[in-house]
């Protein structure tokens, strides 16, 4: 969190594995996401303004809002960053940045350790919880406002919708198969508080997760996933998504066979940070929108 929000937006990359992976999902939500980078460029795009002095005023106010710790913006960015960093980084930065070249995943298998279904189910559910919590932080509402989050999903677009599409495809369909929703529901239903507390990702964000009565934080995670699962199921059905379709589009830049999908999921987890990348874009847009409206 040492960088300011404008520095984070300026530092967003325009190539690499994260961008390749997200671009491969354009077939799911065509034209919805473009990789908007650069602080001033983002202000101009969001506001539609060209006046230099006005752009500077919006910039100053947006940065002021972000720096105000009584607001939830810094916590939202912490959540986006942390849920991505829960996975270990794969030391293939140079390889990942070879624009237009395929990444020979088959040669990296000995460096990858696919997660067990239970671990993958926890990871997916925690990413979903982060989406809910960050939404609440950005909008200044209580962290257990799942109903407000569900209402907002109908209006999701751009980088926010792409983040949800990536969650469904990269953390659901590819590692867990077409029945990932029922599988995650089952794994969460059999999960104990002790097993949850052994998860490193959970421990990094648990201070933000509401404690819902007798069910505790696990109960909140279970009920939240159950609430959003209908939306995810509808998203899969509406877009006729299958693991094969997602992989076919990924294969334009990653060499992998259909029997190695667990390794592909591990590779994506370790070589992309789509939550942090799109999260920065979401946060920047909300800050700029608010700053512009106030000015």
Predicted local confidence at residue 104, as pLDDT: 63
Q: Given pLDDT bands bounded at 50, 70 and 90, which one contains residue 265?
A: confident
Predicted local confidence at residue 107, as pLDDT: 61
Residue 1 has pLDDT above 70, yes or no: no
Torsion sign across C-alpha atoms 273, 277, 280, 283: negative
Model pLDDT for residues 12-33, shown as the tens digit of each residue: 999 888 999 999 999 999 999 9
Predicted local confidence at residue 108, as pLDDT: 61
Contact 113, 40 (CB under 8 A): no
Q: Given pLDDT bands bounded at 50, 70 and 90, which one contains residue 44?
A: very high
Q: Given pLDDT bands bounded at 50, 70 and 90, which one contains residue 269?
A: confident
Predicted local confidence at residue 97, as pLDDT: 40
Q: Given pLDDT bands bounded at 50, 70 and 90, which one contains residue 102?
A: low
Model pLDDT for residues 108-162, shown as the tens digit of each residue: 656 666 778 898 999 999 999 999 999 999 999 887 789 999 999 989 999 999 9
Residue 179 has pLDDT above 70, yes or no: yes
Q: What is the mean pLDDT of the chain?
A: 88
CA 14 – CA 17 distance, rounded (Å):
10
Which pTM was predicted?
A: 0.91
Q: Given pLDDT bands bounded at 50, 70 and 90, which one contains residue 58?
A: very high
Domain ranges of the chain: 5-294
Q: Given pLDDT bands bounded at 50, 70 and 90, which one contains residue 3?
A: confident
| Structure-model confidence comparison of residues 4 and 99, the more confident one | 4
Q: Given pLDDT bands bounded at 50, 70 and 90, which one contains residue 260?
A: confident
Predicted local confidence at residue 280, as pLDDT: 98
Predicted local confidence at residue 93, as pLDDT: 39
Predicted local confidence at residue 105, as pLDDT: 62
Contact 278, 8 (CB under 8 A): no
Predicted local confidence at residue 285, as pLDDT: 97
Residue 2 has pLDDT above 90, yes or no: no
């Amino acid at each position: 969190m040492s960088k300011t929000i404008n520095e984070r937006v300026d530092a967003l990359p325009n190539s690499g594995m994260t961008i390749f992976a997200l671009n491969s999902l354009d077939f799911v939500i065509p034209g919805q996401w473009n990789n908007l980078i650069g602080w001033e460029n983002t202000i101009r795009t969001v506001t539609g303004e060209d006046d230099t002095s006005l752009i500077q005023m919006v910039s100053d106010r947006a940065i002021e809002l972000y720096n105000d710790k009584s607001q939830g913006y810094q916590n939202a960015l912490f959540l986006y960053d942390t849920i991505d960093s829960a996975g270990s980084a794969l030391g293939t930065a140079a390889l990942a940045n070879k624009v237009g070249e395929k990444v020979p995943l088959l040669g990296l298998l000995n460096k990858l350790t696919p997660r067990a279904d239970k671990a993958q189910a926890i990871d997916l559910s925690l990413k979903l919880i982060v989406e809910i919590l960050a939404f609440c932080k950005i909008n200044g509402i209580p962290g257990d406002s799942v109903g407000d989050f569900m209402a907002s999903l109908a209006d999701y677009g751009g980088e926010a919708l792409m983040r949800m599409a990536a969650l469904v495809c990269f953390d659901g369909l590819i590692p867990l198969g077409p029945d990932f929703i029922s599988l995650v529901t089952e794994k969460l239903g059999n999960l104990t508080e002790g097993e949850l507390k052994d998860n490193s990702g959970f421990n990094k964000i648990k201070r933000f997760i509401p404690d819902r009565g007798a069910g505790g934080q696990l109960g909140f995670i279970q009920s939240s996933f159950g609430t959003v699962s209908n939306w995810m199921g509808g998203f899969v059905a509406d877009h006729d998504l299958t693991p094969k379709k997602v992989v076919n589009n990924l294969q334009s830049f990653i060499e992998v066979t259909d029997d190695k999908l667990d390794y592909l999921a591990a590779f994506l987890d370790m070589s992309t940070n789509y939550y942090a990348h799109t999260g920065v874009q979401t946060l920047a847009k909300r800050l700029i929108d608010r700053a512009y409206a106030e000015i």
